């Protein structure tokens, strides 16, 4: 593994698949032109709207999104994560919130169904019930082992509040965690950055966190601040509050340095 650039894309997705994929393509192009080899898109990048609308269009969203990810990976010769899009559950009336990692040849490397669903009454007055339309995944995420990019683990948004999932991936050899998200503006201002830093520090791993930002639909406002955090917890790049790209170097020497200076993974008593 040599040093390389990674990108966390920040979008304001809306209830329009075509517009969202066009926005995503522009930002992927921007990231690739700056030299990014590993690129992540946020949760709900392909469609961000009412749950009933998402469910009604789920089949088309899933098909078009998978084709889009393969096309982008091959066109720009990047490894890309589609950080969360609906895939219909066979024989049911729900979807999986699915993250998909694709290599530059268009090969699927990893597929993860979000395990922790966001069923929360947020103090700003909004209520979210992801489980009404989404089926929780049953399996912990696998880790894609790569000599070129490092070992990559994938989670989605609300997962970041459950440290055991990251400890599991760490035990499987992860060097990098993806945390694509659509964090609410209310919770994000207090918790987003500190949670990402905590997951990085406690596992001495890089964290790449693509994000949604701004007003997506009706009262749905997302926090933004897509970022990349190093294994010491240093924020290397922050996309702020507008659509854009956070780009930073993933450096194996830094990873080794931090793990040498703070060998906490070697001192674990309980997994």
Which residues are identified as catalytic? 43, 114, 157
Cα separation values, 89 from 58, 118, 134, 185, 191, Å? 10, 18, 9, 30, 31
Copy the structure tokens of residue 205. Answer: 């791993």
Rounded CA separation 105/123 (Å): 45
Cα separation values, 199 from 109, 204, 248, Å? 23, 8, 18
Crossing angle of helices 17-33 and 58-76, in 10° steps, is: 20
């Amino acid at each position: 593994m040599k040093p390389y650039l990674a990108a966390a894309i920040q979008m304001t997705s809306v209830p329009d698949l075509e517009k969202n994929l066009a926005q995503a393509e522009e930002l992927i192009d921007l990231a690739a032109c700056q030299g990014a080899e590993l690129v992540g898109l946020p949760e709900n990048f392909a469609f961000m709207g009412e749950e009933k609308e998402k469910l009604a269009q789920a089949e088309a969203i899933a098909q078009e999104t998978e084709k889009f990810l393969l096309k982008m990976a091959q066109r720009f010769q990047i490894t890309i994560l589609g950080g969360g899009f609906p895939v219909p559950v066979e024989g049911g009336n729900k979807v999986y919130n699915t993250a998909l990692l694709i290599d530059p040849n268009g090969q699927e490397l990893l597929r993860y169904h979000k395990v922790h669903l966001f069923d929360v009454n947020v103090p700003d007055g909004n209520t979210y019930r992801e489980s009404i339309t989404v089926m929780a995944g049953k399996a912990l995420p696998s880790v894609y082992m790569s000599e070129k990019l490092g070992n990559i683990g994938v989670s989605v948004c609300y997962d970041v509040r459950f440290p055991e999932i990251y400890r599991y991936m760490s035990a499987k050899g992860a060097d990098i965690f993806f945390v694509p998200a659509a964090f609410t503006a209310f919770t994000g201002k207090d918790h987003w950055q500190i949670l990402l830093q905590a997951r990085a520090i406690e596992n001495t791993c890089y964290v790449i966190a693509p994000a949604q930002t701004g007003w997506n639909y009706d009262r749905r406002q997302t926090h933004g601040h897509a970022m990349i955090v190093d294994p010491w917890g240093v924020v290397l790049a922050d996309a702020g509050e507008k659509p854009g790209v956070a780009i930073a170097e993933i450096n194996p020497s830094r990873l080794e340095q931090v793990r040498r200076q703070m060998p906490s993974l070697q001192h674990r008593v309980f997994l």
